[in-house]
């Protein structure tokens, strides 16, 4: 049968069979029971999968003890993971799933009858209570520790381990392979390909009530991530013997949670087991010699390691995720020059308007200048990545020009921002987030932070600049090499000299009149823009352990993207708002990212929704608590 015809027939069969067996028949079945419903669910699933040409093989069936229900944990790469489990695992399954799926009438009815649990970002306690009720009803609760579908393993979250700790229900690991080939992430059911999905059932992790959450999390991590091969390769062997050779998960130095209080990130938690590997401090500038990372076959330079990470995120499997060929999205001198000329024109217009005697014209000029300063900040970001222009020296000089408008020394930005991308996900190693590691705040700190946040006083944007790009003692400690110390010192002194000369020529009061209010508005808006990207998202803490950085694809889970109107995102921000895509593909110019935005990243939220959510919580919570109340979706 031709593939296209099979896909169409499978699509129709899927919806017709589920509608008939699960929505229509129950209306006329006077003896409807949960057992009868589950039999029809399994029958509809099996009919649909056979029509799609998808079969399921299962290994380790002997480990599936049906005497007691369990929390079933599995890797998640495709919508067909659920179908494969329903088709092959003959137990009463319920799923912990995103609350958005409960908004669809037909699907909501099916999920509710299965006993599935909606994950509600703002009310985790309600989700936990529903999970306990589902387990008490002797259902098998399916939890994906990654929290979402992914072609490669994402960092695990602690929800399953903590739920097992509270309820005493054993954990049942299941490896799923082949589902991503049948239906890749973000593909519709019209794109299903015939294939084989392989399930490998591992021995259960018993007695979770007798071990700590950390130990339980280590056992889960060992099942999925400790093996130096991919899950698909493990499942491909069809043997559990290989898993016996897996080393114990390395001990992670994380503080134990307070089980009595149940922290809000319990379901979307950060996980507790880092992949430990001795890695020297990265050097990220062009002028530094390559450093090496130990490996099984010699050494690999940091530059090569980073390049491999980039290649991994745009591998052949990953390319199918995007609507265009990533290799065509290269920096362009013409596009870069367009944005520079556009920003220059906007700056000139806003300054002319700000010099007007008409107060309304002056106010309009200040607002326009504030927006333009945000655009210069976006240009600084692109030039620092060397993706503004194809020509390298143009990027370097534009980085300094944009830095002068953004009040950030260009070379300091390049060095610090490179470290940020390298260590994103490790909050205490990322130099831009290490000062926000959760800690007990002093009374004065708490009052100052909450007051400034409530009154829209841009405290964070100011401290962000000072601490990361102007604090010379910290920068010299951060960058130990002589050439780096010399570079940041000269850069800061040159910028200070430039600003001093400008004040002497124009006059301090005149500069305040021309750009004072614009700077205040710009910093207030940048407060929201910068804080939205990584703040209030569960992250890892190394706490002094030597750990391996997350590759670009894995950083998606630690990054939030705001959704702005297209014209504003492209003309002003250079798609700086598509921050999740930027971290996955840091070598793609920002002004090209709109061509990939049909691929929605994990944590996307409308800009105004995030502002409302962020302003509804105190500043101390937003900055110093890794929770998920402000647009972090799991």
pLDDT at 453: 94
Residue 55 lies in a domain: yes
Strand (E) or helix (H) holding 73: strand 71-74
Name the nearest CA neighbour of 540 among 143, 148, 217, 174: 217
Name the nearest CA neighbour of 394 among 573, 402, 373: 402
pLDDT at 249: 34
Contact of 462 with 523, CB cutoff 8 Å: yes
How many helices (H) and strands (E) the chain has is answered by: 25, 11
Whether residues 223 and 349 fall in one domain: no
Contact of 248 with 222, CB cutoff 8 Å: yes
Residue 606 lies in a domain: yes
Whether residues 396 and 493 fall in one domain: yes
Which of 220, 238, 263 is the last residue in one of the domains? Answer: 263
Coil vs helix vs strand at 171: strand
pLDDT at 422: 93
Q: What residues form DSSP beta bridges with 54? A: 195
Which of 263, 291, 310 is the last residue in one of the domains? Answer: 263
Residue 300 lies in a domain: no
Structure tokens at 363: 């106010």
Dihedral pair phi/psi, residue 563, rounded to 5°: -110, 110
Q: What residues form DSSP beta bridges with 176? A: 199
**Residues 29, 33, 39, CA angle at the centre, nearest 5°?**
90
Listed in sequence order, the DSSP H helices in 281-435 are 302-313, 316-319, 333-354, 359-384, 392-406, 410-423
pLDDT at 245: 32
pLDDT at 304: 42
Contact of 45 with 51, CB cutoff 8 Å: no
HSE toward the beta carbon, residue 618, CA cutoff 13 A: 12
Coil vs helix vs strand at 577: coil
As a whole number of angstroms, the distance between CA 541 and CA 155 comes to 13
Query: Taking the CB of residue 267, how many other CB atoms lie within 10 A of it?
Result: 25
Terminal CA-CA length for the chain: 39
As a whole number of angstroms, the distance between CA 148 and CA 201 comes to 20
604-613 own/partner pairs: CB under 8 Å, 24+ apart: 604/560, 604/561, 604/562, 604/563, 604/580, 604/633, 605/560, 605/561, 605/562, 605/563, 605/631, 605/633, 606/562, 606/563, 607/532, 607/562, 607/563, 607/564, 607/577, 610/528, 610/532, 610/560, 610/562, 611/528
Residue 419 lies in a domain: yes
pLDDT at 75: 83
Task: Give every residue of the chain whose pLDDT is below 50, as ranges.
Answer: 226-320, 633-634
Residue 19 lies in a domain: yes
**pLDDT tens digits for 368-417?**
999 999 999 999 999 999 999 999 999 999 999 999 999 999 999 999 99
Name the nearest CA neighbour of 40 among 52, 49, 50, 32: 32
Whether residues 434 and 340 fall in one domain: yes
Dihedral pair phi/psi, residue 396, rounded to 5°: -65, -45
Sorted by sequence, the CB contacts under 8 Å of residue 143 that are 6+ apart come out as 71, 72, 73, 96, 159, 160, 163
Query: Taking the CB of residue 83, how many other CB atoms lie within 10 A of it?
Result: 23
pLDDT at 153: 59
pLDDT at 149: 61
Whether residues 175 and 257 fall in one domain: yes
pLDDT at 3: 82
CA distances for 278 relative to 147, 306, 460, angstroms: 28, 16, 33
Per the structure, the count of domains in the chain is 2
Structure tokens at 250: 């390395």
DSSP state string for 120-139: -TT-HHHHHHHHHHHHHTTP
HSE toward the beta carbon, residue 192, CA cutoff 13 A: 30
Contact of 379 with 402, CB cutoff 8 Å: yes
Q: In terms of residue numbers, what domain contains 353?
A: 332-624
Which of 263, 284, 319 is the last residue in one of the domains? Answer: 263
DSSP state string for 399-444: HHHHHHHHTS-HHHHHHHHHHHHHHTTBTTTSTTTGGGS--PPPHH
Whether residues 375 and 253 fall in one domain: no
Whether residues 243 and 342 fall in one domain: no
Residue 81 lies in a domain: yes
Whether residues 344 and 251 fall in one domain: no
Query: Taking the CB of residue 181, how many other CB atoms lie within 10 A of it?
Result: 17
Whether residues 387 and 241 fall in one domain: no
Structure tokens at 519: 């700077």
**Residues 222, 226, 230, CA angle at the centre, nearest 5°?**
115
pLDDT at 237: 42
Residue 286 lies in a domain: no
Whether residues 361 and 220 fall in one domain: no
Structure tokens at 553: 């694809």
Residue 125 lies in a domain: yes
Whether residues 517 and 431 fall in one domain: yes
Whether residues 83 and 172 fall in one domain: yes
Whether residues 233 and 337 fall in one domain: no
């Amino acid at each position: 049968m031709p593939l296209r015809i099979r896909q169409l027939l499978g699509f129709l069969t899927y919806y017709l069979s589920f509608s008939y067996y699960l929505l229509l028949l129950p209306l006329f079945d006077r003896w409807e029971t949960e057992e009868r419903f589950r039999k029809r669910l399994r029958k509809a699933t099996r009919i649909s999968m056979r029509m799609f040409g998808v079969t399921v093989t299962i290994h380790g069936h002997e480990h599936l003890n049906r005497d007691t229900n369990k929390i079933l944990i599995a890797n998640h790469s495709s919508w067909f993971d659920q179908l494969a489990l329903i088709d092959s695992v003959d137990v009463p399954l319920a799923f912990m799933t995103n609350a958005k799926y409960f908004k669809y009438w037909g699907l909501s009815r099916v999920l509710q009858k299965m006993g599935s649990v909606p994950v509600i970002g703002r009310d985790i306690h309600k989700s936990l209570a529903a999970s306990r009720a589902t387990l008490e009803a002797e259902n098998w609760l399916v939890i994906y520790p990654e929290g979402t579908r992914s072609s490669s393993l994402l960092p695990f979250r602690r929800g399953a381990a903590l739920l097992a700790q509270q309820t005493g229900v054993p954990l049942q690991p299941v490896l799923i392979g082949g589902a991503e080939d049948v239906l890749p992430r973000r593909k519709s059911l019209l794109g299903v390909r015939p294939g084989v999905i392989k399930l490998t059932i591992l021995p259960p992790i018993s007695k979770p009530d007798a071990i700590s959450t950390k130990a339980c999390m280590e056992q889960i991590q060992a099942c999925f991530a400790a093996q130096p091969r991919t899950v698909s390769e493990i499942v491909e062997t069809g043997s559990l013997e290989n898993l016996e050779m897996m080393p114990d998960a390395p001990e992670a130095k994380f503080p134990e949670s307070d089980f009595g209080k149940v922290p809000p990130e319990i379901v979307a938690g950060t996980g507790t087991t880092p992949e430990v590997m001795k890695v020297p401090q990265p050097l990220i500038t062009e002028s530094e010699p390559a450093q090496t990372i130990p490996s099984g076959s010699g050494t690999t330079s940091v530059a090569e390691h980073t390049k491999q990470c980039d290649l991994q995120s745009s591998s052949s499997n990953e390319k199918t995720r995007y609507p265009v060929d990533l290799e065509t999205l290269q920096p362009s001198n013409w596009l870069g020059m367009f944005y520079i000329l556009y920003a220059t024109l906007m700056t000139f217009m806003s300054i002319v308007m700000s010099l007007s005697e008409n107060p309304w014209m002056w106010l309009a000029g200040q607002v326009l200048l504030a927006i333009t300063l945000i655009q210069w900040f976006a240009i600084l970001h692109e030039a620092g990545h060397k993706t503004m222009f194809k020509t390298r020296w143009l990027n370097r000089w534009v980085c300094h020009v944009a830095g002068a408008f953004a009040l950030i020394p260009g070379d300091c930005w390049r060095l610090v921002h490179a470290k940020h991308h390298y260590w994103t996900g490790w909050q205490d190693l990322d130099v831009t987030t290490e000062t926000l590691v959760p800690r007990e705040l002093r009374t004065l700190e708490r009052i100052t932070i909450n007051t400034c946040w409530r009154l829209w006083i841009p405290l964070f944007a100011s401290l962000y600049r000072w601490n990361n790009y102007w604090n010379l003692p910290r920068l010299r400690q951060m960058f130990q090499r002589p050439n780096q110390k010399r570079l940041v010192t000269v850069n800061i002194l040159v910028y200070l000299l430039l600003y001093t000369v400008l004040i002497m020529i124009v006059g301090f009061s005149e500069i305040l009149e021309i750009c004072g209010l614009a700077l205040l508005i710009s910093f207030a808006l940048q407060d929201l823009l910068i804080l939205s990207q990584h703040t209030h998202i569960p992250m890892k803490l190394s706490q002094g352990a030597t750990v391996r950085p997350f590759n670009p694809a894995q950083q998606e889970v630690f990054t939030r993207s705001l959704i702005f109107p297209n014209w504003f995102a492209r003309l002003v921000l250079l798609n700086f708002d598509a921050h999740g895509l930027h971290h996955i593909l840091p070598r793609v110019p920002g002004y090209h990212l709109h061509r990939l935005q049909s691929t929605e990243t994990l944590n996307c939220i409308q800009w105004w929704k995030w502002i409302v959510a962020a302003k509804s919580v105190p500043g101390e919570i937003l900055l110093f608590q890794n929770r998920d109340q402000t647009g972090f979706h799991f």
